Structure formats: C-alpha cells, structure tokens
Structure 1
Amino acid sequence: MVLKADNVRVAVTGAVYNAPKTATRPTDATVALTGYADLGYVGDGGVTETRDRSTNQIRAWQNGALVREVVTESSIKYNFILLETKKETIELYYGTKVAVDGSVKINPAKTGGRQMFAIDVIDEDDIIRIDIPDGEVTEVGDQVYVNGEAIGYEVTVTGYEMTDSVSGETYSAVKWYGSLDTTGGN
C-alpha cells in the first residue's frame, strides 16, 4: 500500500452559489459560473453534505435468512449558515423577493422554489465543485439576534433526482474533484 500525504484534502475555503433553473450549469470544477449569485460568507462550520438512505430487508421463510436489502428512500442535502445580510441571502432564507423598500413579507410555507446551486470547496490549488441542478431550500434554522454574534441564515438545500438527457442516468448532484488522479494509479 502506498500512502500519499499529498492526497489529503482540507476544506480551507469555498463558496456557495445559487441560480435560476435557466442558468448555464457548470461542466467541470473550474469553469466560470454564469448566471449564479455568490451567497457570500459562510459560517465557520462550512457546508455539511448529508446522504440519507432507508432500506427494507427481505427475509426468507427458511431460517429468516436475509436474502436481499432494497433501498426504499434516499436523499442528499447540503446545510450551511450564510453570514452576509444581503438581498440574495434574505431571498434564499425567506423564499421570497425583497421589495424595493427593503421589506420581506414572510410566509413560513414559501421555499423560493426549485433552483440550481453550486458549491466550491477549495484547498490551495485544488477545487471540488458540487453541482446541484435541481435543488430547493427545504429547511431553515432559527434566527438569533444576540450581541457579539453575526446574524446567520441557516438553510438546508435538498437536491432532487433528475435524469441525464444524454446517458439516461439519474442523479441529484454532480461532484468534480479537480486534481483527482483518474489514471488508475495510486
């Protein structure tokens, strides 16, 4: 076994972006994003990716042997806290447009609808890009107003399954590893 410390990645910095579903999707880890809004500073907890999966075990009559386990539900979610109080973060958090006078009419049921998201995870010259072509804010955290703390806008984005028009493959997100050795070596 060959161990290579150069393969250890740290999420030193990064960015979270959103865009309407009409924007041009990224095609790799480094292509410039067109039509996406940079959502600004993210809290020091970074971005958490959660993949959930529920299964059903199928057992045989004979000895109750496990003969198969099928996936019955699955999802992928990204959670982060946005720190900048600006139009884009307010609209994402509340799921509605900011009026010209700076007001927001809050309806807790509004999600802002489906949109595209991109997340860049950066370690020096290495970049990991996550493309969520069909995502929606499905959860928001509490608003806390306290002296000495930034007002944060915690959101959870759920990626919905889509089918690739060329390959027919279904997926909820695409992740590119910019410096991943794909030649089959160690």
Structure 2
Amino acid sequence: MAGSTDNPRLWEGADFYAAPSGTALPVNLDALMSTVPAWKAVGLLSEDGASESRDEDTSDFYGWGGKLIRTKRSKHKRSIKVTCLEDNLTVFGLVNPGSTVTTATGVNTRTVKIPRSDKQSFVLELVDGDITKRRHIPIGEVTEVGEVTLSESDLQAYEITVTIYPDSADVLYVDYDNDPQATAA
C-alpha cells in the first residue's frame, strides 16, 4: 500500500492573527508571533476549525463532436472562515472596522459605525505535535460576519470570513511549515 501514516495532519492547535498590511512575520517558525507586536491574536477559536473556500467561474470550450478542448477560468476568489470565541479588542476591530472603543472610570464605550473597507494581513497558525504551519495572507479583509447569538444557552461567537486578495505578483498566500514529509527535493 502506497503512502505513510506519518503524512496526514490533524491540527490540534490553532491561532489566528491580524496586523496592518505589510507587517513582517517573525524571523522563523520557532519565533512566536508575539515577537512582532503588530500581530494581534483573536484569542480562542471554535473547535470547528478554519475552512478555506474557493469560487471561480469556468467556461468550457468544445471541438467538433463534443470533445472538451479547453476550460477558461476567471473571477477566482478565495476566503477563509474562522469562528472567534472571544469578545476582545482585536475581534471587535475586525467585526466593526472603523468603530472605536474608549474606557473611562472602568466603563468601556463601544461606538459601532457602518463598516468601512479595512484591508489587513492575516496569519493562520496550525500545530500538530512538533509540526507548525503558518499560512500568511498578505492582503485580506473581513467581508462577512455571521449571525451573533446572545443567549444563556450558546456561547457568543463571531464567525468571520476573510476574503483573500492577490498581491501584485498574483500571490494569494504563502504557507511556511517545518513538516519533514513535505520537504522539497
């Protein structure tokens, strides 16, 4: 049987970070994201994990006799979805771009404004034992926020969808990892 049981990954831990566009990553995978203060963690994530979606239009072209000869792709879009379980300043800023928080005499005042465009950089960091993977999204934006439940029977959570934009070289994201099974020859 081909394959190795060492290759599949079960990501047992994850963190999601946001920073202003253009923020540098830590120098290597051993360095914590917090070594670059601009990277802010969203805090606890839902056990449902993160999901990446792809969307694009395709047009098929056929030759005489109905033989498929080419497929044209256009309007490629990728996004990543995570559910944040904390109501901290980082999550508030992602969910309510352009809004403000002030604190005076122990009282926080959150002034929520109509969202504005707020492109940022993001990192999804995944851990499986000694294996770490950092997915660096240089340009992204929270474009969807799921319904927020306020009740005594469910945790308050913020499901956010980050739309990933390509850079000038058409790069959507870069994965960095220390997985010996994925080493290039």
Q: Which residue of 2 aligns with 1:8?
A: 8
Q: Which residue of 1 aligns with 2:163?
A: 158
- Aligned partners of 1:90, 1:109: CA distance in 2, in Å? 11
Q: Which residue of 1 aligns with 2:150?
A: 145
The answer to whether the 8 Å contact 1:115/1:136 transfers is: yes
Q: Which residue of 2 aligns with 1:24?
A: 24
Correspondence for 1:51 among 45, 50, 54: 54
Deviates further, 1-10 or 102-111: 102-111
Seq. identity, %: 24
With the length of structure 2 as denominator, give the TM-score of the two structures: 0.86
Deviates further, 27-36 or 89-98: 27-36
Correspondence for 1:41 among 41, 44, 57: 44
Q: Which residue of 2 aligns with 1:68?
A: 70
**DSSP 3-state at the match of 2:176:** strand
Correspondence for 1:85 among 84, 87, 91: 87
Runs of 4+ with deviation above 6 angstroms: none
Q: Which runs of 5+ in 2 are unaligned?
A: none
- Aligned partners of 2:162, 2:79: CA distance in 1, in Å? 5
The answer to whether the 8 Å contact 2:102/2:110 transfers is: no
Query: Greater strand percent: which structure?
Result: 2
Deviation at 1:153, TM superposition (A): 1.1
| Compared CA separation, residues 153 and 183, structure 1 to 2 (3 A) | closer
- Aligned partners of 1:70, 1:130: CA distance in 2, in Å? 28
The CA RMSD measured in Å over matched residues stands at: 2.0
The answer to whether the 8 Å contact 1:25/1:133 transfers is: no
Deviation at 1:51, TM superposition (A): 2.0
Deviates further, 35-44 or 45-54: 45-54
**DSSP 3-state at the match of 2:100:** coil
The answer to whether the 8 Å contact 1:28/1:129 transfers is: no
Q: Which runs of 5+ in 1 are unaligned?
A: 164-168
| Compared CA separation, residues 183 and 65, structure 1 to 2 (3 A) | closer
**DSSP 3-state at the match of 1:150:** coil
With the length of structure 1 as denominator, give the TM-score of the two structures: 0.85
The answer to whether the 8 Å contact 1:51/1:77 transfers is: yes
Correspondence for 2:135 among 127, 130, 133: 130
Residues 80-107 of structure 1 show CA distances to partners (whole Å, capped at 9, x for unaligned) of 1101111111111111343214333334
The answer to whether the 8 Å contact 1:87/1:98 transfers is: no
Deviation at 1:30, TM superposition (A): 4.0
How many residue pairs align between the two structures? 177
